[in-house]
Amino acid sequence: MTCSDQLDLFSPAQRRERVVEWQVPAPVAKVAMGLSGMDAMLGIRDGRLPPPPFAKLIGFTVGTVEPGRVVVELEPREDLENTIGLIHGATAAGLLDTAMGCAISTRLEAGQSSVTLDLKLAFLRPLSVRSGLISAEGKVIKLGRQTSYAEGFVRDGKGALAVHATATFSMIASNLT
């Protein structure tokens, strides 16, 4: 690594930027907790509720919302890349944790929610900015009173399975006041 290499790598000509915008989440959460999970998901999908900040940061959107099944979508970008030019695995973790958690949500009433206990990902095929529209499908396998279990699939733009996941969720009931 020579001095000139370093100058190149840090040069302003090689700099890229992206502006991430989101809405303050606390008031949204308060409204969402008064809705059934299905209504909250549809509210986000249809633009009546702002998505959570992390969704804006990663840049994914909600696609299909059905009872027990949610699909989120992402157009891959350079700012999601890791050191070797692939989309960082945590991107798929974010899509899948969200899609599975939201799939659980669609089966919950107002005042109920869930948090992820265990998340297991298997990376089967690398994703890159050339992967086309990436989709993550979450499906409920078992809805329980204390814990629930879901499965998830990330597919590239051609429908090839790239990441498979399973997750266990702890169910929580909040008071609404």
Binding residues among 47-106 for a copy of itself as defined by CB under 8 A: 48-50, 52-54, 56-58, 78-86, 88-91, 93-94, 97-98
Positions 134 through 173 that interact with a copy of itself (CB under 8 A): 141-142, 144, 146-147, 149, 151, 161, 164, 166, 168, 170
Q: Which is nearer to a copy of itself, 36 or 157 (CB)?
A: 36
Structure token pair of residue 136: 């993550």
Which one, of 52, 143, 162, lies nearest residue 152 by Cα? Answer: 162
Structure token pair of residue 4: 């000139």
Binding range to a copy of itself, per CB under 8 A, among 11-19, 62-70, 131-139: 11-19
In this structure, is the dihedral angle defined by the CA atoms of residues 21, 26, 27 and 31, taken in order, positive or negative? positive
State which of residues 15, 130, 145, 158 lies at the interface with a copy of itself (CB under 8 A): 15
Asked if residue 17 binds a copy of itself (CB under 8 A), the reply is: yes
